[in-house]
Amino acid sequence: MNKKKILVVAGILVLGALFFYFDLGRYLTLSSLKANRDALVAYYEQHRFFTVALFVLVYITQTALSLPGATVLTLAAGAVFGALTGTLYVNIGATTGATFAFLAVRYLFREPVQNKFGPRLEKINTELETRGLNYLLFLRLVPLVPFFLINLGAGLTRLPLRTFFIGTMIGIIPGSFVYCNAGASLATITSMGDIVSPRVLGAFALLGVFALVPVIYQKMRNKKQS
């Protein structure tokens, strides 16, 4: 690993360590958000541009470093900015942060992983290069795999950056809206379990299945032709 990569890794580790050293996670809880909502809204009304810019920057940093707190930040977006506008700001922050995480992993670790596991990953890489958008949409829509693991895992493959960016940007819209909409009615939430119902999860799963329909159809067609 050359000096540039070492500096990047060191910077990431330092930022992550500072987050936990100063216990910044205590501000990213549902109780803290509910206690400070009125103050946040008042500050936003007086400093709109700065508040939006700061929120997006914080969301990008949290996502890029794979730190905890994304759910509370998304609720905060709905509570302060409203459901629709909050979804937009969350999408910008989450997509940008995820892309940084994706690029960091690809820049730092993809080459050694490919050298060691290249033959085993070849089939997966081929699938991702040709139908990666469908797979990524499925993973983003169906909450089976943690958001940060998708960012990190995708960076180790040959999934095109453009596909990752578009798939992330589109795939996180439904989930972001659900949490922002819940944040807009923050007073009615007593726990995280109040936000996502089985019906909502079922809707996400159905959307994910629709994303895979073209892949399934193509595989069945190829099998029939062969």
Helix (H) or strand (E) holding 63, with range, is helix 48-64
Q: 62 with 15: CB under 8 angstroms?
A: no
135 or 208: which carries more pLDDT confidence?
135
DSSP labels for 193-205?
GGT--HHHHHHHH
**Can you give the residue ranges of every domain in the chain?**
3-225
Render 123-172 in DSSP notation, one character per residue.
HHHHHHHHHHHHHHHHHHHSTTS-HHHHHHHHHTTT--HHHHHHHHHHHT
Q: What is the rounded end-to-end Cα distance, in angstroms, of the chain?
A: 45
The amino acid sitting at 207 is L
Output the pLDDT for position 1.
63
| 28-82 pLDDT per residue, tens | 999 999 999 999 999 999 999 999 999 999 999 999 999 999 999 999 999 999 9
pLDDT digits (tens, 9 = 90+) for 115-143: 777 777 777 788 888 889 999 999 999 87
Condensed to tens digits (0 to 9), the pLDDT of residues 77-114 reads 999 999 999 999 999 999 999 999 999 999 888 877 77
pTM: 0.90
Nearest CA-CA partner of 94 in 35, 185, 177: 177
Sign for the pseudo-dihedral over CA of 174, 131, 94, 13:
positive
The Cα–Cα gap between 221 and 136 comes to 22
Distance from C-alpha of 78 to C-alpha of 29, rounded to nearest angstrom:
15
